[in-house]
Amino acid sequence: MKFHEMTSGQLESIKHDQVVVILPIAAIEQHGPHLPTGTDTIICGAVAQEAESRHPESILLLPTLWLGASSHHLRFGATLTAELPTYISLLGEIIQPLLLDGYRRVLVLNGHGGNIDPMKVALRQLQPQFPDTLLSAGCYWSPCDSALVKLLEGADKSVGHACEFETSMIMHLRPELVDADRVANAGDWLPDQVQGVYVCRDMMQRTQAGATGRPDLASAEKGSALFEAAVQGVEKFVEALLTEKLPT
């Protein structure tokens, strides 16, 4: 079920405690020289839509929120962003009316690393007001660890930025948006941790390329397999939330 394609009467007829409301959130920001600025939005939205198409009776899908917390990309340009307090408030204000309508199970499905902290804070701020709800959040790529190890050829078997993973996904979903002439090894990049301690660095401090890892090793075939792994992971998220006992 897609929230924005239903009438108010149709929405009222739903058994509000027996569906998972999914809010996909992503970003519009630079993705190196070879991927579109909407990469995160395209991928996260596609994963959410495919999951909904397989389980329309148990998923109520909201439109993908394209705005993200992306200030760490601003020095590269070609980036839209919200400040952290604004983004936290925005997420809460989108979700709160759903809870007031009686929906009890919510999944914020994230497609951008910069959204991880604010989405958790937004849910923590809402939970005391709605203690009888399941407020959850997760990244669409979280279930893909085994697929990453199996499929990625580069030394970095994780999800980076405009990396082998994301480039493969866009090659699968929207190949016409990839600038194939500019796909290249992104070279070394700095982590955001030193001896397990978080170090705050913007993207230009981490990589001059605006991308990470080995996008030059990406392929549509890898993207297809990784996309399926992500969708199956979201299906498992939904199943778990539907079987989880509602709090009181």
How are strands ordered across the β-sheet holding 59-61? 59-61, 20-25, 105-110, 134-139
- pLDDT tens for residues 204-214? 999 999 999 99
pTM, to two decimals: 0.98
Mean pLDDT across 94-99: 99
Q: Which two tokens stand for residue 34?
A: 């070879």
Mean pLDDT across 63-69: 99
Q: Does the structural domain 3-243 have CATH classification 3.40.50.10310? A: yes
Amino acid making up residue 150: K
Mean pLDDT across 63-72: 99
Mean pLDDT across 115-130: 99
Q: Is the pLDDT of residue 136 over 90?
A: yes
pLDDT band at 188 (very low <50, low <70, confident <90, very high): confident
Mean pLDDT across 180-195: 95
Q: For position 195, what pLDDT does the model report?
A: 96
- pLDDT tens for residues 14-50? 999 999 999 999 999 999 999 999 999 999 999 999 9
Q: In sequence order, what are the residues at sequence separation of 6 or more whose Cβ sits closer than 8 angstroms to the Cβ of residue 136?
A: 105, 106, 107, 108, 123, 237, 241
pLDDT band at 149 (very low <50, low <70, confident <90, very high): very high
Domain residue ranges in the chain: 3-243
Q: For position 131, what pLDDT does the model report?
A: 98
